[in-house]
Structure 1
Amino acid sequence: MSRPAVRVLRLGAVPYAEALRVQERCVAAARAARGPGAPPGPPAESVVLSEPARPLLAFPVLDLRRRRLPLRAYVAGLEALVLRLCRRLGLGAARALPPPFTGVWMGDSKLCAIGVHCGNHITSHGLALNCCTDLTWFDHIVPCGLEGKGVTSLSHELGQHVAVNHVLEPFLDSFQEVFDCTLVSSKEPGD
């Protein structure tokens, strides 16, 4: 049995608002693909990648009902894919914590924030992986509303500059493994 295809839209460095507009079009395409009069076949699923202010943002648009995947298991899947990526990069100490501490952590510092939305079983939003983020921004806020916790990046943890483009392929490989799909490049949500 073949694995379902998921479209990958690589936006590069675009304003956050543009990435959200593309994500909204992907959600609309996924909903339309399962509505009345839709052509037979699997719903249109996507993962939107963008790079505002240097973290890696990934907005998976997946149909959890079709995948028979509860929302909490989906969040755990996002954590698992980042943990696979971290192991590939040599960060075996990365870990997920029990709720309410979602995301991926190095000690008491968050490496990857996860925040998802799910409407009508279609996911949106997703994760922000700190690759080469300027961590001084977090000195002035309480990240994710968690007192006493810090923020870290791949660059900081690995002791070298890690650009987003260095982690894209291993990230996408991890995504395919965790969500049992085949990723295909796409220009638009409806391609």
Structure 2
Amino acid sequence: MSGAPVRVLLLGPVPYAEALRVQERCVAAARAARGPTPGPGTRAVRGPAALPGDSAVRGGPGAVPAESVVLSEPAHPVYTWGLRGAPDAAAAAALRARGAGLVAARRGGHITFHGPGQLLAFPVLDLRRRRLPLRGYVAGLEALVVRLCRRLGLGAARALPPPFTGVWMGDSKLCAIGVHCGNHITSHGLALNCCTDLTWFDHIVPCGLEGKGVTSLSHELGRHITVDHVLEPFFDSFQEVFDCTLDFSEDPGN
């Protein structure tokens, strides 16, 4: 797998639902590229973001390749939850009243927040081709973010053992991780707080972890860190951890 290309779909600030739609097209393309897969193979791991969307595979020179990573910044605030932790009717109404959207997601984990100032990364990788177990993949996402943080001068960032999936600064979560894996094809991924308004997290128990805080790169580094600031260290770290080259595309897969 060394040097195998992964296509980068850099969406910029878009509605959360749009990032999900592009992700689903990438998942469909990855499955089509591999052909039929026998037997069951759907698992989920706790943490944040996929809804079924338009899964048509586009042919021709612009077709999405076998593996991709969808990058975006949520244009509007939204709360999402996975296989557990859905808010009750009263809590949902209160969150909507604050101006946030609500989305149920096909991933593991509890409720979390996505919004402006946050990097969302949805890698669509074939774990069977990579001979990578699901837990190893999640550890790879954590290692990617730890490397990114070190490139920015944040050496104290670390991964913790389950159930504390993600990347942490002390008792505060800096990056949430939650994935879906069906027939060995991954979706969803990570949400890294760059300059996110952290007060949105005050209205939930993020990822279902009582007594834990949430932080951002801007807060920890004491300067304004935007999503654009972290893209280059993200690309470098992604290539190192997943032993690949990145193929940049102007086609968002619409």
Q: TM-score range by the shorter chain?
A: over 0.9
2:22 maps to 22
Q: Which whole-Å CA distance do the structure 2 matches of 1:185 and 1:158 have between them?
A: 29
Give the 4+ runs in structure 1 shifted more than 2 A.
187-190
Q: What root-mean-square deviation, in Å, do the aligned CA atoms of Structure 1 and Structure 2 show?
A: 1.4
Determine whether 1:4 maps to 2:4: yes
Out of 158, 161, 174, the residue aligned to residue 237 of structure 2 is 174
Report how many aligned residue pairs link the two structures. Answer: 184
What does residue 122 of structure 2 align with? 59
The answer (yes or no) to whether the contact 2:2–2:243 under 8 Å persists in 1 is no
* Residue in 2 that maps onto 1:143: 206
Q: Secondary structure at the match of 2:163?
A: coil
- For residue 35 of structure 2, what is the amino acid of its counterpart? G
- What is the Cα deviation at residue 2 of structure 1? 5.4
What one-letter code is carried by the residue in structure 2 that aligns with 1:15? P
CA distance in 1, matches of 2:128, 2:250: 26
- Over 3 Å counting, the alpha-carbon distance change for 1:172 and 1:60 in structure 2 is same
Q: What letter matches 1:180 in structure 2?
A: D
Match of 1:39 in 2: none
- Residue 187 of structure 1: how far off its partner (Å): 3.4
* Structure 2: segments with no counterpart, 5+ residues: 37-64, 75-115
Indicate conservation of the 8 Å contact 1:29/1:189, yes or no.
Answer: no
How far off its partner does 1:54 sit? 1.9
Paired position in structure 2 for 1:164:
227
Whole-angstrom distance in 2 between the partners of 1:35 and 1:155 = 44
Give how far 1:141 is off: 1.2
1:50 aligns to what? 72
Question: Once the 2 structures are TM-superposed, how far is the Cα of residue 103 of structure 1 from its aligned partner?
Answer: 0.3
Aligned residues: percent identity? Answer: 90
- Give the distance between the partners of 1:140 and 1:25, measured in 2 at CA: 33
Other structure's SS at 2:250 match: coil
Post-superposition offset of 1:188: 3.9
Higher helix share: 1
- Structure 1 CA distance, aligned partners of 2:251 and 2:123? 14
Q: Distance in 1 between matches of 2:163 and 2:136?
A: 14
TM-score w.r.t. the length of structure 1 is 0.93
Q: Tell me the TM-score normalised to structure 2 length.
A: 0.70
| CA deviation map 1:84-139 (0-9, x unaligned) | 00111111111100011100000000000000000000000000000000011111
Distance (whole Å) between structure 1 residues aligned to residue 252 and residue 5 of structure 2: 13
Relative to structure 1, the CA distance from residue 185 to residue 179 in structure 2 (aligned partners, 3 Å threshold; closer, same or farther) is same
Cα distance, 1:55 vs structure 2: 0.5
